[in-house]
């Protein structure tokens, strides 16, 4: 992989030709990392493409040129993790003895709550589980999900509203 500081800086400053060259040069190493991290060859290819798209969109946000390689590998690893969650079909809910459920003393309410969470659309369920069960920070979630902090907060808020609506019925 090219760690040519001039090429990275040119791409960072908006030079399309430099960015294309940088992305092309990065593909083999991204593919190698994705093949090791993802569950299937197809997922690895998807992870590489999503990573390249993310780099294309966000190269201007790269703070230091020397962190390019670490930043790139971090993106592809996160993308492989995201694809793994999608492949599993849903976000795994914690067991009924999870501390979050300890606040509910009404018999069977934890089952209703689990059903409410399971009924959420994937994007809201993922946000609720990451925030309320895995106790991820908004910044961590934004990084993992490749969303803005505002979008993460919105998903959490909307997910909680949908859970309340489900439990009212």
Same domain, 113 and 65: no
Task: Read off the pLDDT of residues 127-139 as tens digits, 9 standing for 90 and up.
Answer: 888 888 778 889 9
CATH number of the domain where residue 142 is located: 1.10.10.10
Is the model's pLDDT at 165 over the cut of 70?
A: yes
Q: What is the DSSP string of 97-126?
A: TSGGGGG--STTHHHHHHHHHHHS-HHHHH
Closest by Cα among 93, 94, 155, 151 to 123: 155
- Judge whether 158 lies within some domain: yes
Please report which confidence band the pLDDT of residue 31 belongs to, taking 50, 70 and 90 as the band edges: very high
Q: What pLDDT sits at residue 141?
A: 87
Instruction: Calculate the alpha carbon distances from 55 to 25, 108, 125, 129, 166 in Å.
Output: 13, 47, 27, 27, 39
Q: Check if the beta carbon of residue 113 is closer than 8 Å to that of residue 159.
A: no
- Tell me the mean pLDDT in the region 36-60: 87
Same domain, 12 and 72: yes
Same domain, 121 and 79: no
- Tell me the mean pLDDT in the region 74-85: 81
Is the model's pLDDT at 102 over the cut of 60?
A: no
Task: Read off the pLDDT of residues 49-64 as tens digits, 9 standing for 90 and up.
Answer: 999 998 998 898 888 8
- Judge whether 148 lies within some domain: yes
Q: What pLDDT sits at residue 10?
A: 93
- Judge whether 116 lies within some domain: yes
- Judge whether 94 lies within some domain: no
Residue 91 parent element (H or E): none
Distance between CA atoms of residues 155 and 149, nearest Å: 10
Q: Check if the beta carbon of residue 123 is closer than 8 Å to that of residue 91.
A: no
């Amino acid at each position: 992989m090219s760690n040519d500081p001039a090429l990275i800086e040119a791409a960072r400053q908006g030079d399309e030709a430099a960015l294309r060259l940088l992305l092309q040069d990065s593909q083999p190493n991204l593919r190698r990392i994705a093949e090791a991290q993802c569950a299937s060859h197809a997922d690895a290819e998807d992870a590489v493409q999503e990573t390249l798209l993310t780099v294309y969109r966000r190269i201007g946000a790269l703070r230091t040129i020397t962190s390019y390689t670490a930043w790139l590998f971090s993106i592809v690893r996160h993308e492989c993790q995201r694809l793994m969650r999608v492949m599993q079909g849903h976000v795994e809910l914690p067991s009924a003895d999870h501390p979050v459920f300890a606040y509910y003393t009404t018999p069977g309410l934890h089952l209703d709550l689990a059903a409410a969470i399971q009924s959420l659309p994937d994007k809201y369920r993922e946000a609720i589980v990451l925030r309320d069960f895995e106790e991820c920070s908004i910044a961590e979630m934004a990084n993992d999900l490749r969303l803005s902090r505002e979008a993460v907060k919105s998903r959490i808020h909307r997910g909680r509203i949908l859970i309340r609506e489900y439990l009212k019925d």
